[in-house]
Amino acid sequence: MEQRKFAKNLRSNMTDAEHLLWRHLRAKRIEGAKFRRQHPIGPYVVDFVELKHQIIVEADGGQHNGCDNDSERDAWLTRKGFRVLRFWNHDILRQTDVVLEEVYRALRASPSPQPSPSRGEGDQGASNGGGRRL
């Protein structure tokens, strides 16, 4: 429950870069993908996530420069099947089209979600991640 309060607080205090990115990601504006903002996943709260395609978009400010915690976090999220896209706030604000194109390509490259398997059948594989920044 505490994590949900933390996520709600983050939603109320988004950075300028997060606001700009959210304007483009919300309401299924890219490939019909439904992004959520400041969403808890395991022990983390991610900036934006599209659960169906398991794509996470992170907006990073200067506090993330050389941050080992980001590597650990990305590795954990990748093991859970998510692909992590990281962008510097500066790039989101000044090269918005380039950032959105990268998100678009990730959605297009993501395997289409499979229908729910019936009673234990189905592939247990996960898409691979990559926490690179623009």
Question: How high does pLDDT run on average in the chain?
Answer: 80
Q: Does 23 fall in a domain? A: yes
Q: What is the pLDDT of residues 50-88, one digit of tens each?
A: 999 999 999 988 654 555 688 889 999 999 999 999 999
Lowest mean pLDDT among 19-28, 63-72, 74-83, 98-107: 63-72
Number of domains in the chain: 1
Residue 127 pLDDT exceeds 50: no
Identify the CATH number of the domain in which residue 93 sits: 3.40.960.10
Where residue 115 falls among pLDDT bands split at 50, 70, 90? low
Per-residue HEC secondary structure of the chain comes to CHHHHHHHHHHHCCCHHHHHHHHHHHHHCCCCCCEEEEEEECCEEEEEEECCCCEEEEEECHHHCCCHHHHHHHHHHHHCCCEEEEEEHHHHHHCHHHHHHHHHHHHHHCCCCCCCCCCCCCCCCCCCCCCCEC
Q: Which amino acid is at 59?
A: A
* Structural domain span for residue 72: 2-109
Please name which of 91, 69, 89, 101 lies closest in space to residue 14, comparing C-alpha atoms.
89
Q: Does 61 fall in a domain? A: yes
pLDDT of residue 124: 44
Q: Does 20 fall in a domain? A: yes
